[in-house]
Structure formats: C-alpha cells, structure tokens
A and B are shown apart, each in its own frame.
Chain A
C-alpha cells in the first residue's frame, strides 16, 4: 500500500470495487430496511403518545392487563405485568438463541446452527401463542378495534386509576372522556401489537426457511452462513420493537 493521505484513502474507499462500509450489500440493505421499519413503528408509538397526552384521562395498564393463562381462572387475584413479562423473556431468549445460531454459522458449525435455529423458532411460536391468548382474553372483555364507543362510564370505570390527581374531576365534567380514551387505547393496542405480531410471524417463517436451507446444506455449499446473520438482524429488530412496545404500553 502506498503512502495515501487521509483524503486519498477516503476517495479510494468510495471509488468502487469494494464495500465502503466493509459489509456486504445484502447486510447493508437489511440494516437500511430495519431503519425504515424503526421509523414506521416509531410513528405508531409516538402517535400513541400524542393521543395519550391529548387525553384528560387514560386507562391504567396495570388495570387492563392483569390476567395470566390458567392461573387467572383459578384465582381472582390480579397479576399485573406478569404475563407480559413472560412474553418479554420468551422473545429475549429467542433472540439469544438466534445470536448463538449466527455464532455457530461463523464457525461453520452446521449442527449448532440447526440446534439454535430450532430453539429460536420454538421461542417465536411461543411468543405468538402468548399474544394470541392475550388478544383472545381481551376480546372476551369486550375490547377490540372500534370498541367502547360512547360506552357508559360504569363499563370502563374499572380501567382507570381514580387515586391519580385530576381524574375524578375530569370525569365529573366530561364522563364521556373515559369511554373515548378506552376506545383509543384499544385501537392503538391492537394495531401496534398486531403489526408487531405480523413481523414476528414473518420472522418465524423466515427462520423456518433458514432451518430448511441449513439442513439441506445450502449454506454449507455456499461457504458461509451470512443469510442466517441477515435474518438474525431482522429477528433482533423484532425483539427491539417489543422492548419499546412493552415500555410504552405497560410501563409508562
């Protein structure tokens, strides 16, 4: 290599014939797609925040989400945050198994890739099953897109935290605000978790395709497992979005 100045090195890097980022085209494009998807989810979540800030009252997530499969049919004790925490752990763990699959791919360990991909797929399916249970349960309480339009205050009162300052006063002046807020809340909840669930589903399908290809030796013949890495990026993105959805809907 000749004594290149900084400017020359920069020009060489961008002069073609090589990746200026030292990353393959496919991986760069996956990252750029994830950026666009992050802005889409961001728009949905920020829209949720704007509506919430513009509402005098808002349902308390600890009142809305307090059920757990099987256990809730055996006891009346509310279990706020428990089920969603389980879902978060499942998705994080499936992300970890995906990293381990990518790691195995880096070392050309075909058996390792198969093992960890299997765990990732199972984790993804478990998450989808949990989300399906959550949706079904909420549906049976009357929640859905377009629900609680002009509903009487008594039907939604239990979702609000009256110890919070300003709530009782606001509802005395405008009792319809509770129903309107509940309606908005569920619209956003089903839309955002639904859009996320669609991403998880497509991710599971992609992972299954990866597994089949790995078993058939496609990547072994190709000489590298970069496809596992690229779909892995998508899968981690799905986990990332869930981390933010969990925070916005259940914690804040």
Chain B
C-alpha cells in the first residue's frame, strides 16, 4: 500500500484534508440499493434488536429483583455483564471500530484497561472508609482521655 502513496496527483491530499484520502478516493460504494448495502442495513437492525432485548432483560431482572427483595453480587454481576455486552456491540458495529485496522482498535481499547485498576482501587477505598468510620470514629475521644 505504501508504494502507491507518493504519486503527484494525490500528494496534495496529504496536506490538510486527509479525509478525502480515506473516505473519498478509497470508498467505491455507489448504489444504496445494492445487495451489499442491504446486507449492512440488515446487520444494523439485527444489532438494534439485540440491544433492545438486552435492555428489556435488564429492566425485567431489575424489576424482578426489586419486587422479590433480592439484591446480591450475582445480580450486580449480571447487570455489569449485560451492560458490557451492549457497550461492545455499540462500539464494534455502530461506531465501526470492528471494521478498523487491528493496531487502531488496540490503540483505542488499551487505555481503557486503566479502568480495571481504577474501579477496583476506588471501590476498595470506599469500603475501607466505611470500615474505618464504623470502627475508628471515636479516636478523638480516645486521644482526649489519654492527655
């Protein structure tokens, strides 16, 4: 691919508006009614259906758990997994990240792994603060007594 990129006629496209190179010249789609186009549209609606079903499932589980008085780690895990499934489909199909080159997909997704540490660390912090407040809240009184 790089061998083609030094011709005079498209050199001007590198300066300034690069988008012409990656969306204008490279795109060869012309017929919105073609089979290829119809297939892509079908896929979009299929993912829409999936997102709707997952959302309905989340709401159903939420309501069911509320009326049954259940709220435990299993329910929380289910919600998080379903939410991540929705997020994955939106990013992969709607935002077309699934169609991009692999090195770009990684460039976008790798920084998000920071969230893994972020979430664990701060929820652990919160629990620790609760524990400290419950067991160490009267240290001030203890200090006053020892003077």
Contact = CB atoms under 8 A, between A and B. Distances in A.
A236 to B, nearest CB: 5
Nearest to A177: B133
Interface string A28-61: 1001000100110011001101111111100010
Interface in B63-111: 63, 66, 69, 71, 76, 79-80, 83, 86-87, 90-91, 93-96, 100-101, 103-104, 107-108, 111
Interface centre among B20, B91, B126 (most CB of A within 10 A): B126
A164 to B, nearest CB: 7
Interface size class of A (residues with CB under 8 A): 35 or more
Given A50-B125, A243-B86, A244-B83, A223 B29 contact: no
A80 interface: yes
B79 A108 contact: no
Interface string A188-227: 0000000000000000000000000000000000111111
A39 B86 contact: no
9 contacts: A19-B18, A19-B21, A80-B63, A81-B63, A226-B23, A243-B86, A244-B87, A252-B76, A252-B79
A5 interface: no
A210 to B, nearest CB: 14
A229 B96 CA distance: 10
A100 interface: yes
Contacts, number: 186
Contact of B119 (A1, A35, A49, A247): A49
A23 B100 contact: yes
Interface centre among A35, A98, A237 (most CB of B within 10 A): A35
B12 interface: no
B90 A243 contact: yes
A24 B21 contact: yes
Interface in A50-86: 50-56, 60, 62, 80-81, 85
Interface centre among A85, A237, A250 (most CB of B within 10 A): A85
Interface residues of B, number: 68
Interface of A: 1-2, 12-13, 15, 17-28, 31, 35, 38-39, 42-43, 46-47, 49-56, 60, 62, 80-81, 85, 88-89, 92-93, 95-96, 98-100, 102-104, 106-109, 112, 161, 163-164, 222-227, 229, 232-233, 236-237, 239-240, 243-244, 247, 250-252
A239 B51 CA distance: 12
B29 to A, nearest CB: 5
Given A18-B1, A21-B107, A53 B20 contact: no
A23 B22 contact: yes
B118 A89 contact: no
B126 A17 contact: no
| Shortest beta-carbon contacts, A-B, top 3 | A53-B126, A21-B104, A50-B126
Contact of A55 (B52, B118, B130): B130
Given A81-B62, A89-B52, A92-B52, A240 B23 contact: no
Given A49-B123, A49-B126, A81-B62, A92 B51 contact: yes
Contacts of A239: 90, 94
A185 B30 CA distance: 52
Given A95-B94, A224-B19, A18 B126 contact: no
